[in-house]
A and B are shown apart, each in its own frame.
Chain A
Amino acid sequence: MTMEGKIFSLLDVAKNIPARVVDIKGGRSLELRLMNLGVKKGVILKKKAVCLNGPVIIEIKRSILALGRGMSSKIEVELE
C-alpha cells in the first residue's frame, strides 16, 4: 500500500514522518499568521505530538510550533 500522493489534514497525518503542505483551507488571515511562521504551501513539516484533545505540535525548519486543532484541520499535507 502506498501512502504517496494521499492527502491528509495535519490532524490525521501520522507522527514523525515528513509531510509537505499542499493547501491551507483557511481565510486570508489564517494564511498570513501561518505564513509569518513559515507554514505555507510547499514546505515540509513533521508532526511531533498531539496534546490529548489539544494543540498539534509540529516541527518546521528548526522551530517547534503549537497549533490549535481547528487550524490543524485546515492544513492539508501529503507524505513525502
Chain B
Amino acid sequence: MRVVLVGNPNVGKSAVFFRLTGAKVLTSNYPGTTVEFAKGVLIKNSERVDIIDAPGAYSIEPTNKAEEVTVRLLKEAAIVVNVIDATNLERNLYLTLQLIKQQCKLLVVLNMWDETKHKGIDIDIDKLQNLLGVPVVHSCGLSGEGIKDIALKLNQAKVSSLNLEGRDLWEIIGEITSSVQTLHHKHHSFRDVMEEITIHPFTGIPFSVVVLGLCFLVVRFIGESLIHFALDPFFENIYKPFLWRLNELIHWEFLRNILIGGLINENIEFMQSLGVLSTGIYVPIAVVFPYVLSFYFVLGLLEDFGYLPRLSVLMDNVMHKLGLHGVSVIPFILSLGCNVPGVLASRVLESRRERFILATLTAISIPCMAQISMIVGVLGKYGLRYILMVFGTLFLVWFSLGVILNKFIRGESPEILMEIPPYRKINLYVLFRKLWIRISGFIKEAVPLVLLGVFMTNLLFSLGVLKVLGIIVAPVVTFIWGLPEKAILALLVGFLRKDVAVGMLGPLGLSPKQLVVGCTILAIYFPCMGTFSVLLKELGLKDMCKSLAIMLIVAILVGGLLNLIIK
C-alpha cells in the first residue's frame, strides 16, 4: 500500500512523516524545506505500508519543479494523507478541496494542533469531518502527539461524496471555516512583537544586520573553542605520540609515506605532512568538523525559528539585480553549508532561467563550510587581510557575474510570491535531531572522501603523473595564475574534495599572494564531485556544460587578475 503525505508548504509534513516512519528527514520553518520526496515504511499489524513525504504544494496545478514532483506522486498514491496547518484552515483547505475533487482516497490531518490553543482558535473536528466527508484527525508533528491516530485511521481514508463541480472553492472554504472555527481574542506575545519588528524595513534591516553578525560570531566562537580547547589538544597530546609510535613501527618507506606522510623539520605537521592518518584524519575532524557543526547549529536555529523567509523579503531587491528574487536567499545560505542541498533547493524557483543563474552562481562563488574552514586554516597565520581578499573576491564575483548573467540570459525572472510563516518556538529535540542528521551525513560522506583524496595525492606524487599534466596546463597555472606546477595536483583533487585541495596548497611553500590566488580559483574553477552530480541532475547536460564553461573562464580571468593586482 502506498500512502502519500500532501499539503501546503511548511505545514509540518516532514515532521509527521518522521514521526510515522522514523526516517531521517530535515524539518524547518520555511516553505520549501522538502524539494524531493522521501520514502519511509510504517509497519501496521505486520503489514508493510510505504509512506512518501512529498514537497509542499499550494494546489494540484504546479507552479515550480518541487510542486511537479508532488503532482506526479499523487497519481501513484493509494491513500492521500492531506496534512493541514490547523492554525490556517482558510488557506489550507483549498488544496483539500482540490484533492476531494480529484476523487482521492483521503485522510485529513490537522497538524500543529498545539498552536491552535496559543492562537485562540477552536476547531470542531466532528463538524469538519461531516462537511468534508472524509475522516479528520489532529496531531502535533513536533511532539508526536496524535500520530498514532493517523496510523490507526489510515484504513478509514475514503473518497468524499462532496460534489464540488462548478462551484467556487474559496466560497465553500468560507462557508466551512465560519461554521467549524471559532476565534478568540488573544494577547500579544513576544513572537508577535518580533514579527512586527522584522517585517518593517526600518527596524527589520538593522535587525538583520545584528542577527547575521551574531550568527557569524557564534559560528566562529563555537568552532574556535572546539578547536582550541578540545581537538587541538587531543591531536597534539594524544594522537601525535601515537603516530610517532606507528612511524617507528613501519619500516617500509612507501607505506610510511602513505600513512604518516612527509616529516617537516623532523616533525609530523598535521596540515602539511599529507599522510592518510595524519592530514587525512586531522583535516576533516579537527579543522572542518568544528565549523560544520557550529554552522549547522546556527542555521538550524534560524530555520526553525522562521527567520529565513524575512531575510528573503529584505534581500529581494539585491536578488533582482542578479535575475533572481528573494526566495533564492535560502538556497544560497544552505550552500554555505554544502553546495549540494543548496543547488537542490533551487527547485523552489519558478523558471529555468532563475535555476540556471542560482546553480551557476552557487557553484562558482559560494564556498562550502568545509572549504571556508580550510581557507581560514591555511591563510589564518598570514593575517585577516588575506582571508578577506579571498572572500571579498568571491563576493564580487558572485554579484558581478549575477548582474552579467541577468543581462545576457534571455527571458525574464518572475517576482517573489512567498508566504511568510509565523515565528515558532524552537523545539530542542527537533533542533538537535536535525543537527545530528546533518553532522552524521558529513562524517559518513566527507571523511572517506578526504581519506581517499589524501591517498590519491600521495599516490600521484609518487607515480610522477604530475609531470605529464604539468606540461599540458602549465601555461595557465604558472603563467596566468603565477602558481607552481605542483598546484595542478590541488586542482585535480578539488574534484574529489575542495577542502583537501585547499589543504594541499599548504605544503607547496607558496607565498601568501599565491595562496590567495590558489584558494580563490579552487573555489571557482570546477564543482566538487557531489555538486557536479546535482548540477547535472538539476540543469541537464547542456546547461551544465554551459555552467562549467562559465566556471573555467571566470577562474582563468579572476585568477589572472588577482595575480596582477595583489602585490
What residues make up the interface of A, taking CB atoms closer than 8 Å to B? 29, 32-38, 40, 43, 48-55, 57, 61-71
Q: How far is the CA of A40 from the CA of B420 in the complex (A)?
A: 18
Interface positions of B from 458 to 473, Cβ below 8 Å from A: none
A-B contact pairs, 14 of them (CB 8 A): A32-B63, A33-B63, A33-B417, A36-B61, A48-B199, A51-B316, A52-B201, A54-B317, A63-B88, A64-B420, A66-B312, A66-B420, A68-B316, A71-B415
Size of the chain B interface, CB-CB below 8 angstroms: 31
The answer to whether A65 and B417 touch across the interface, beta carbons within 8 angstroms, is yes
The answer to whether A61 and B90 touch across the interface, beta carbons within 8 angstroms, is yes
Q: Which of A34, A57, A61, A70 contacts B313 (CB 8 A)?
A: A57
Q: How far is the CA of A32 from the CA of B314 in the complex (A)?
A: 25
Q: Does B325 contact A (CB under 8 A)?
A: yes
Shortest distance from the beta carbon of B86 to any chain A beta carbon, whole Å: 11
Q: Does B247 contact A (CB under 8 A)?
A: no
The answer to whether B63 and A66 touch across the interface, beta carbons within 8 angstroms, is no
The answer to whether A71 and B417 touch across the interface, beta carbons within 8 angstroms, is yes
The answer to whether B58 and A37 touch across the interface, beta carbons within 8 angstroms, is yes
- Knowing that A48-B199, A70-B415 touch, tell me 18 more A-B residue pairs with CB under 8 angstroms: A29-B63, A33-B63, A38-B170, A51-B204, A51-B316, A51-B317, A54-B313, A54-B317, A55-B316, A55-B415, A62-B88, A63-B91, A64-B419, A65-B417, A66-B417, A66-B418, A66-B420, A68-B316
The answer to whether A36 and B94 touch across the interface, beta carbons within 8 angstroms, is yes
- Contact A64 B199, CB 8 Å, known A55-B316, A69-B415, A71-B417: yes
The answer to whether B316 and A62 touch across the interface, beta carbons within 8 angstroms, is no
- Contact A51 B170, CB 8 Å, known A36-B59, A36-B63, A65-B417: no
Of A40, A49, A54, the most chain B CB neighbours within 10 A belong to A54
The answer to whether A62 and B63 touch across the interface, beta carbons within 8 angstroms, is no
What residues make up the interface of B, taking CB atoms closer than 8 Å to A? 58-59, 61, 63, 87-88, 90-91, 94, 170, 195, 199-201, 204, 309, 312-314, 316-317, 325-326, 414-420, 422
Q: How far is the CA of A52 from the CA of B206 in the complex (A)?
A: 13
Q: How far is the CA of A66 from the CA of B310 in the complex (A)?
A: 9
The answer to whether B90 and A55 touch across the interface, beta carbons within 8 angstroms, is no
By secondary structure, the B interface counts as helix
Chain B residues in 8 Å Cβ range of A68: 316, 325, 414-417
Shortest distance from the beta carbon of B7 to any chain A beta carbon, whole Å: 13
Q: Which of B61, B63, B417 contacts A67 (CB 8 A)?
A: B417
Q: How far is the CA of A34 from the CA of B415 in the complex (A)?
A: 12
Q: How far is the CA of A37 from the CA of B415 in the complex (A)?
A: 15
Shortest distance from the beta carbon of A60 to any chain B beta carbon, whole Å: 8
Q: How far is the CA of A62 from the CA of B94 in the complex (A)?
A: 14
- Contact A43 B91, CB 8 Å, known A37-B417, A66-B316: no
Chain A residues in 8 Å Cβ range of B416: 55, 66-68
Closest to B416 in A: A68
The answer to whether B58 and A63 touch across the interface, beta carbons within 8 angstroms, is no
- Contact A43 B417, CB 8 Å, known A54-B314, A54-B317: no
Q: How far is the CA of A63 from the CA of B201 in the complex (A)?
A: 19
Q: How far is the CA of A51 from the CA of B91 in the complex (A)?
A: 24
Q: How far is the CA of A72 from the CA of B88 in the complex (A)?
A: 23
Chain B residues in 8 Å Cβ range of A66: 309, 312-313, 316, 326, 416-420
The answer to whether A57 and B199 touch across the interface, beta carbons within 8 angstroms, is yes
Chain B residues in 8 Å Cβ range of A55: 313, 316, 326, 415-416
The 8 closest A-B pairs by CB, nearest first: A68-B415, A36-B58, A61-B90, A36-B59, A54-B316, A64-B420, A54-B317, A66-B313
Q: How far is the CA of A72 from the CA of B314 in the complex (A)?
A: 17
Shortest distance from the beta carbon of A28 to any chain B beta carbon, whole Å: 11
Chain B residues in 8 Å Cβ range of A29: 63
Chain A residues in 8 Å Cβ range of B419: 37, 63-66
The answer to whether B415 and A62 touch across the interface, beta carbons within 8 angstroms, is no
Chain A residues in 8 Å Cβ range of B195: 64
Chain A residues in 8 Å Cβ range of B316: 51, 54-55, 66, 68
Shortest distance from the beta carbon of B337 to any chain A beta carbon, whole Å: 24
Chain A residues in 8 Å Cβ range of B199: 48-49, 57, 64
The answer to whether B417 and A53 touch across the interface, beta carbons within 8 angstroms, is no
Chain A residues in 8 Å Cβ range of B204: 51
Shortest distance from the beta carbon of A47 to any chain B beta carbon, whole Å: 11
Q: Which of B61, B94, B326, B420 contacts A38 (CB 8 A)?
A: B94
Shortest distance from the beta carbon of A11 to any chain B beta carbon, whole Å: 12
Shortest distance from the beta carbon of A50 to any chain B beta carbon, whole Å: 8
Q: How far is the CA of A37 from the CA of B383 in the complex (A)?
A: 51
Chain A residues in 8 Å Cβ range of B91: 37-38, 61-63
Closest to A69 in B: B415
Shortest distance from the beta carbon of A33 to any chain B beta carbon, whole Å: 5
Shortest distance from the beta carbon of B311 to any chain A beta carbon, whole Å: 11
Q: How far is the CA of A61 from the CA of B420 in the complex (A)?
A: 13
Chain B residues in 8 Å Cβ range of A65: 417-420
Chain B residues in 8 Å Cβ range of A51: 201, 204, 313-314, 316-317
Q: How far is the CA of A43 from the CA of B63 in the complex (A)?
A: 22
Chain B residues in 8 Å Cβ range of A71: 415, 417
Chain B residues in 8 Å Cβ range of A67: 415-417
Shortest distance from the beta carbon of B77 to any chain A beta carbon, whole Å: 20
Chain A residues in 8 Å Cβ range of B314: 51, 54
Shortest distance from the beta carbon of A35 to any chain B beta carbon, whole Å: 8
Closest to B309 in A: A66
Chain B residues in 8 Å Cβ range of A35: 59
Q: How far is the CA of A68 from the CA of B312 in the complex (A)?
A: 12
Shortest distance from the beta carbon of A43 to any chain B beta carbon, whole Å: 7
Chain B residues in 8 Å Cβ range of A52: 201, 317
Q: How far is the CA of A55 from the CA of B325 in the complex (A)?
A: 10
Closest to A15 in B: B200
Chain B residues in 8 Å Cβ range of A33: 63, 417
Chain A residues in 8 Å Cβ range of B326: 54-55, 66
